[in-house]
Amino acid sequence: MKQLNITGLLALMMLTIQVVTAQGEIKSNQFILGGTTNLLIQNNTYPLASLSISSGIGGIYSNNSNETKNTSFALTPYVGKEINQNWLIGMLFDFRVGKYINKDIQVFGQSETFDLERNSNQIGFGIFFRYLLNPENKLNFFLQPHLEFNLLKENERNNSTIMQREKAQYIELCLSPGLKYRINNTFNALLRFGGINYVNGNWRILETEINKDFYSFGYNFTLSNLYFGLEIKL
């Protein structure tokens, strides 16, 4: 009976050690559910699309004497699967809204001024990979390439009257660096930067025959392209 009790006690101790050890280990090959956000507010400066040509002495500014405001918000939820401790593969969705207002515009030949407003909505989806440099560390550097297809709609208003409607579709290929902090074995916090970006697509003005192909290539590591995120291991 005494031997049986000792054997049972040893078995319980071994089971406890295994459970504690498993809790301290970094689990891999799990599903990941997460999302990142980005917010941009600009007053009396060039809109985001023109920032690459708006630098001058003293920084970024506008030579427009009118009051302007540019606001955008992005939400990018995603789901992924860990291949191993270094690699993650997943699918992402991209939702963006934006508004640009230029007040009291004066047009040659017209005595009255008006407010120009552009409202945009965008939805995208794609796939991404993530490579962690040192997955055993709590704070880790990563690289995240992704391929995404986007649809964009924009309405141009003159004093609340829709003057023009546009649509665009484009493919985006991006390589983003970032930092991941392991809060615990379930939650991670992330910072992701814009990185290197290639875009190719087409835009058109609805109810007209006007359309253009476009493409761009560049890199951007400014705070305007900083994304905050949180993810959970399922």
Closest CA to 154 of 215, 218, 93, 206: 206
Residues 83-112 as b/e (b if ≥16 CB within 10 A, e otherwise) read eeeeebebebebebebebbbeeeeeeeeee
pLDDT of residue 48: 56
Q: How confident is the model at residue 61 (pLDDT cuts 50, 70, 90)?
A: low
Q: Are strands 195-205 and 187-192 parallel, antiparallel or unpaired?
A: unpaired
**Cα–Cα dist 137/202, whole Å:** 43
Residue 121: its H or E element:
strand 114-132
What is the residue whose two structure tokens read 């290639």?
A: 198
**Cα–Cα dist 224/59, whole Å:** 14
Least confident of 46-55, 94-103, 147-156, 176-185: 46-55
**Cα–Cα dist 146/126, whole Å:** 7
Least confident of 3-7, 27-31, 182-186: 3-7
pLDDT of residue 225: 84
Burial class (CB in 10 A: 0-12, 13-18, 19+), 143: middle
Residues in the chain, total: 234
3-state class (DSSP) for residue 176: strand
**122-173 pLDDT, tens per residue?**
999 999 999 999 998 999 999 999 999 999 999 998 877 888 999 999 999 9
Q: How confident is the model at residue 66 (pLDDT cuts 50, 70, 90)?
A: confident
The yes-or-no verdict on residue 79 having pLDDT over 80 is: yes
User: Percentages helix, strand, coil for the chain, rounded to the nearest 5?
Assistant: 15, 60, 25
**Cα–Cα dist 46/42, whole Å:** 8
Q: Quickly list H helices, the chain.
A: 2-24
Task: List domains and CATH numbers for the chain.
Answer: 29-233 (2.40.160)
pTM recorded for the entire structure: 0.78
Compute the half-sphere exposure of residue 133: CA atoms within 13 Å on the CB side of its CA: 11
